[in-house]
């Protein structure tokens, strides 16, 4: 037997969800480099994405009284698309919120500059070697890159983000 054709309202909702996925994916491309400056960025990214995905999936199934199934048939795929869409929304929004409302901690890190290169527009990538031997990449602005051009070490100020994740807020040459 063949599948019944999807109802028009299902098609509209699926199209709207896919539009949200595309818009938030574009927003993530703009916000994504900001994750480089967050300490423990993988934990932050995973927490934001999976929290959003869980809220999206449960919210969709409860709102529309859908019984969750492990199927991607047209009638069953909307909760999964909603989960992915809200996961992206939480990822972009969480990064923006965390970095926009940062408070200074007075904590500083000093590291050896490994590489400094221009990426695109006025964005530069700074790769440093920390005292424990690990390497980390950071996104910096053009004026900070100019100040670090012929330096061996960098002093980085740590701030506490609004969501509790620390991030590097300022880069300066060490005296």
Residue 89 and residue 24 share a domain: yes
Residue 107 and residue 83 share a domain: no
pLDDT of residue 1: 52
pLDDT of residue 70: 81
Residue among 153, 106, 124 at smallest CA distance from 37: 124
pLDDT of residue 2: 63
The answer to whether the Cα torsion of 136, 46, 19, 95 is positive or negative is negative
Tens-digit pLDDT string for the chain (175 aa) = 566 666 777 889 889 999 999 999 999 999 999 999 999 999 999 999 999 999 999 999 999 888 888 877 766 788 999 999 999 999 999 999 999 999 999 999 999 999 999 987 778 999 999 999 999 999 999 999 999 999 999 999 999 999 999 999 999 998 7
Residue 66 and residue 114 share a domain: no
Residue 39 lies in a domain: yes
pLDDT of residue 73: 74
Domain boundary among 100, 119, 139: 100
Residue 36 and residue 20 share a domain: yes
Residue 2 lies in a domain: no
pLDDT of residue 175: 75
H/E stretch holding 14: helix 8-31
Measured CA to CA, the distance from residue 32 to residue 8 in angstroms comes to 35
Tally of structural domains, the chain:
2
> pTM value?
0.86
Strands, E assignment, the chain: 103-120, 123-129, 135-141, 153-160, 166-173
For 149, the domain range is 103-173
């Amino acid at each position: 037997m063949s599948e019944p054709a999807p109802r028009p309202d299902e098609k509209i909702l699926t199209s709207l969800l896919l539009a949200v996925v595309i818009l938030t994916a574009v927003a993530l491309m703009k916000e994504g480099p900001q994750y480089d400056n967050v300490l423990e960025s993988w934990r932050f990214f995973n927490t934001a994405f999976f929290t959003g995905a869980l809220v999206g999936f449960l919210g969709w199934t409860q709102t529309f009284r859908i019984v969750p199934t492990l199927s991607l048939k047209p009638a069953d795929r909307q909760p999964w698309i909603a989960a992915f869409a809200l996961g992206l929304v939480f990822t972009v929004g969480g990064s923006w919120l965390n970095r926009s409302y940062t408070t200074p901690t007075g904590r500083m890190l000093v590291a050896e500059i490994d590489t400094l290169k221009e990426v695109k527009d006025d964005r530069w990538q700074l790769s440093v070697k920390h005292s424990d031997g690990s390497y980390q990449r950071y996104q910096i602005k053009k004026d900070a890159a100019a100040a670090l051009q012929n330096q061996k070490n960098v002093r980085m100020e740590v701030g506490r983000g609004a969501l509790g994740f620390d991030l590097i807020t300022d880069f300066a040459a060490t005296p």
